[in-house]
Structure 1
Amino acid sequence: MTTHPGQIDVWLDHLPADRRDEAVQLADQVRAAAPELDEAIKWNRLTFTAGGDWHHWVCAVAATKRAVSLSFHKGSLLDDPDGLLTGDGQYLRGVSHARAHAEPAAVAALVRQAVARQKDMLPG
């Protein structure tokens, strides 16, 4: 696993305190579900991938001044029985911090599924 703790700390330090706590909580949920993932700041997000494959990243913690969410690169391909994922792009789907915090088991299942489907593509 490759991590860049200094880079991650700098990213976190730029967030308002309440957003920082939420970002750390989401990152910890991802790490608990899939400790083998690599992590780095990519595209101004705390991004997670498997096998160093940043082209097919798995998920990312995105933070603004107003909200923190967990984005899944191939979210449209994931089975989401709890209805956590939102979005309507071809692939990208997200989960708000509030929903992720309230339903950690469902988020863990989504993370594990996203790892397994990392390189899947829509039929086309």
Structure 2
Amino acid sequence: MTDEHIQTWLAGLDEDQRGRAEELVRLVNAAEPRLQQAVKWGRITFTIDNRWHDWLCGIAAAKKGVRLVFHKGALLEDPAGLLSGSARYVRELPAEQAVESPEAVAALLRSAVAHQAGLIE
């Protein structure tokens, strides 16, 4: 996927959602520049080493707002208590909360990368 696909996805959002999603893209890229991004599963999705099946996080937009979603968020250390969710592994946080806590989100991303690389079981 190219930046064109991401721009097309963003263009499909309303102005407020687009702004929040763009903030999250910047936040994730600043926190972990090694990540690849593409539109997969109806959202902007991030992974490392092209391991799309084991994606790390994604940006999802719905009527209730824009969220940063962690594929295996239940496995991550979350000392700031940002993540919520009741699925087996998936955890998420609202865009507003993520943008207000860039250091905590960066720590979550580092933990997600370490899990995917097999450094943490």
Query: Per the shorter chain, which TM-score range?
Result: over 0.9
Residues 62-118 of structure 1 show CA distances to partners (whole Å, capped at 9, x for unaligned) of: 012330000001100000001000001111000111211111110111011111112
Aligned length: 119
Q: Distance in 1 between matches of 2:7 and 2:59?
A: 14
Sequence identity (%): 46
- The answer for unaligned runs of 5 or more in structure 1 is none
Shift of 1:119: 5.9
- Give the counterpart of 2:33 among 35, 42, 55: 35
Q: TM-score, normalised by structure 1?
A: 0.91
Q: Using a 3 Å threshold, how does the CA distance of structure 1 residues 26 and 13 change in structure 2: closer, same or farther?
A: same
The two structures, once aligned, show a CA RMSD in angstroms of: 1.4
Q: Higher mean Cα deviation, 94-103 or 12-21? A: 94-103
Alignment of 1:1-124 (within 5 A): 4-118=2-116
Larger helix proportion, structure 1 or 2?
Answer: 2
> Unaligned 5+ residue runs, structure 2?
none
> Which portions of structure 1, spanning 4 or more consecutive aligned residues, are displaced by more than 3 angstroms?
none
Query: What is the TM-score normalised by the length of structure 2?
Result: 0.93
**3-state secondary structure, aligned to 1:94:** strand
